[in-house]
Amino acid sequence: MNLPLPLRIINGITAVLFLAFAAVQYNDIDPDTYYRASSLDAALWLAFYALIAILFALTFWRRLAPNWLLLAGALACIVEMFRTGWGLWINLFGEKDFTMMQYSMSAEDPRVEVTREFFGALLALTAVALLWWERRRFSSRAAGLSAEETSPSPAVESAKSEPPLA
């Protein structure tokens, strides 16, 4: 895939950011802070963010992620948004005022943690949509064309250089 340099830089930075998001998931096992804290949940979030980082890294290194991998990333985002959407709903329409910045998250009031997770999944879905757009816009393989089909043949090039017959 032949991306313009600014998009390659953005993809590289985004890959590093999602890798950092994956790295900080190790602390999601503290039951005093996190709602339904478990090693499995932390591992799933780590894998989720790592998948998005890998998709951006592949694009940064001018590789096309397979369609099934992009679809898996989008599906994972949508599943996480459905899993955590209730927290956003309670945060927006519940009895307490909306907050994402309380002094500390607690297992007794999970709406802050779950709202943050919802927006993390939404951010990841937006990132996957950007990759999908880049693929459609800048990849000849995504359109089903090979490199030979996208470069003009010598006969076409010579026809372009000849003056028109009068």
Mean pLDDT of the chain: 78
What is the DSSP track for 78-142? HHHHHHHHHHHHHHHHSSSPP-S--SS--SS-THHHHHHHHHHHHHHHHHHHHHHHHHHHH-TTT
- What pLDDT is recorded for position 161? 56
Is 143 in a helix, a strand, or coil?
coil
- What pLDDT is recorded for position 10? 93
Extents of the domains making up the chain: 5-161
95, burial (CB in 10 Å: exposed 0-12, middle 13-18, buried 19+): exposed
Give the confidence band of 146 by pLDDT, cuts at 50, 70, 90: very low
pLDDT, average across residues 72-94: 88
- What pLDDT is recorded for position 14? 95
Q: How far apart are CA 74 and CA 127, in angstroms?
A: 9
Is residue 60 within 8 Å of 14, Cβ to Cβ? no
- What pLDDT is recorded for position 65? 82
* Residue 84 reports pLDDT greater than 80: yes
Computed on alpha carbons and rounded to an integer, the radius of gyration of the chain in Å comes to: 22
* Residue 74 reports pLDDT greater than 90: yes
Give the confidence band of 104 by pLDDT, cuts at 50, 70, 90: low
Q: pLDDT of 14-54, one tens digit each?
A: 999 999 999 888 766 665 556 666 777 778 888 999 999 99
Token pair for residue 66? 């397979």
Q: How far apart are CA 42 and CA 27, in angstroms?
A: 8
Is residue 53 within 8 Å of 23, Cβ to Cβ? no
Q: Model-level pTM greater than 0.75?
A: no
Question: pLDDT higher for 111 or 77?
Answer: 77
54, burial (CB in 10 Å: exposed 0-12, middle 13-18, buried 19+): middle
Is residue 84 within 8 Å of 118, Cβ to Cβ? yes
